[in-house]
Amino acid sequence: MKNPFLPSISQTLADPYSSASPSIAAARRLPPESFLLPVDNMPKHYRPPGKKKEGNAAKYVTRSQAVKLLQVNLPTFRRLCILKGVFPREPKKKVKGNHHTYYHVKDIAFLHHDPLLEKFRDIRAYEKKIKKAEAKLNKDLVVRLLTRKPTYTLDRLIRERYPKFVDALRDLDDCLTMVHLFAALPALDRENIEPKRIHNCRRLSHEWQAFISRSHKLRKVFVSVKGIYYQAEVEGQKITWLTPHVLQQVLTDDIDFNVMLTFLEFYETLLGFVNFKLYHSINVKYPPILDPRLEALAADLYALSRYVDANSRSSVVESETVESSVPDQSESQLKEKAQNESNLRLAQLQRQLPYNEPGALMHLVEESTTEEEEDQDTKECKKLFEGMKFFLSREVPRESLLFVIPAFGGTVSWEGQGAPFAEADQSISHQIVDRPTQGHMFLSREYVQPQWIYDCVNSRIILPTEGYLVGRVPPPHLSPFVNDDAEGYVPEYAETIKRLQVAARSIVLPMPGMGQADLEDPQHLLVEGVIDRTEAQIAAEKKQKMMNLEKQYHEELRTELAGVQTPALATSTSSRISPENDGGEDSDPDTQQTANDDANMPLVMMSRKKRKLYEAMEINKQRKKASVDHLKERKRKIDGSKESGKK
């Protein structure tokens, strides 16, 4: 049946805008707002098609989306992210699911505009050209292509990621650990570990150790199963790194060496920049030129020390000569000086320093560091082994001791060619031995184990050598990175070291039954005659005032934790606790329950978030207490076994 309210098709086609089509004409007269959907019928997250994304969907992209956007393969994307310092993010809401890796859109845009991306594309195209030429057996083209390989440098990335030198020092822990690791690895073709990379890592690590040792910046050393931990302080920044033991390294198949080599590529450039800055800060030219004889004998660290010593002395002499000479020089003289600079640097090691000069290892930049003010730690470390001469046997870790002993002011030599002095030198004070027995012994020196060096370094005093003699079981090697007071357990040998430190530094200790506060009491100082009566009275009043303020502060803090207590509640609590109740002796309250309720009152007044945090803290305290009890029980069993063995 035809709808009488709709016009015919012929009428509509004939004149669509006439009065014969009242619905369309009426629609033309309606305002634009009438075409909008009602607010009640609009979906909650309605977004018209083609509109811009919002929220986490617009801020983050998955790894596959990022690879597709940059038009590179996955290994190139990983390499680019490592070099640029771009890492995955964790959005609050993962739009694509929990099994994806997300990156920020701005980080991907940062990679998209980097010139290194275009260089990687050129390298990929270059590799395809070589494969194509090799497939066609076109040897001439392959030779020409191999001479035109695209190259790139990471100098710009170093300046971009580390605007200041302090920023580079803060990020140097992983860098040093990685470089020292690859310096001890063997070269393998199947893992793309080239001998050139190994030699470069070894050179950079020795340059870093030479600077730290000669500037006396080393602070802590700890020998563990993983390796040897070192901590140095350079320009106020504490730098900790791990070096592996000098053993044959076995490479496993579950390690992706491509990722590690990418990190190593960046870390080599970073450490080169840092060494350049540090060497120039002490007026030493970089890179150093080593004595080829010592370098052939694998005495790189000793050769570096000699180079730094000679170069620092020559720089001081040149500065004094320039100050005394006429300041204006002609351009021809400057050019001649620049041309002969390399010859002078080569002549320093051949003419100024004979290869058997004693004590050359121990003097680094003494003249160049006189103008700089040394802090208290540097002065203390510089004088620890001052005046001592050490000789290393062939079984001890030579590289580690060559690094540690000069860092604390000692003179060291070893068994082999290129050593500063021989084993028969009568001026040797200590010989480091790590064997059960020692055949030939000199009466003028002490024979100790290598652990004695590390324990002396960590305690900053010269420890007695009785427990470290040859053939004896040494005391426990305590870690300087652990705070015993915070852990709640102080080993017995740590207490012994503290007593030795107090005796060495002449610190006055309180008598048994007294505390450190008794030494600061004005009445004691008055009796001892340190201060007069007026000063003692003023000090006593000041101390009493501080004690009152401290007591008031603790009372306010206790009230704040327990909540504001009304007078009525306080009166009821006091009446509950008072023994004079109507019930007599049989109706005395449970004092233990009352004490527990008072102790739990602050916990009840806390919010849920603070209560959970407090419970986690209590659980951590209980775990720490259980660990301390376990250590004490082990110590008790060991002491019992020793006593039973003596019987």
Closest CA to 372 of 456, 292, 282: 282
In degrees and rounded to multiples of 5, residue 348 shows phi and psi of -65, -40
User: Residues 230-237: what's their mean pLDDT?
Assistant: 93
pTM, 2 dp: 0.68
CA distance 402 to 416: 14
CA distance 292 to 300: 9
Nearest-5° Cα angle at 211, 209 to 214: 100
Q: Which residues fall within 8 angstroms of residue 100, CB to CB, at 6 or more apart?
A: 62, 63, 64, 94
Burial 382-398 (b: 16+ CB within 10 A, else e): bebbeebbbbbbeebbb
CA distance 341 to 368: 20
Closest CA to 268 of 283, 287, 296: 287
CA distance 450 to 434: 7
pLDDT tens string 560-611? 666 654 444 444 444 444 444 444 444 455 677 777 777 777 777 788 888 8
| Predicted pLDDT of residue 168 | 94
In degrees and rounded to multiples of 5, residue 508 shows phi and psi of -80, 125
| Predicted pLDDT of residue 342 | 41
| Predicted pLDDT of residue 46 | 56
Closest CA to 222 of 247, 246, 199, 243: 243
pLDDT tens string 107-143? 999 999 999 999 999 999 999 999 999 999 999 999 9
Comparing 31-40, 132-141, 225-234, 405-414, which segment has the lowest mean pLDDT? 31-40
Do residues 279 and 285 lie in contact, with contact meaning Cβ atoms separated by under 8 Å? yes
User: Residues 326-354: what's their mean pLDDT?
Assistant: 44
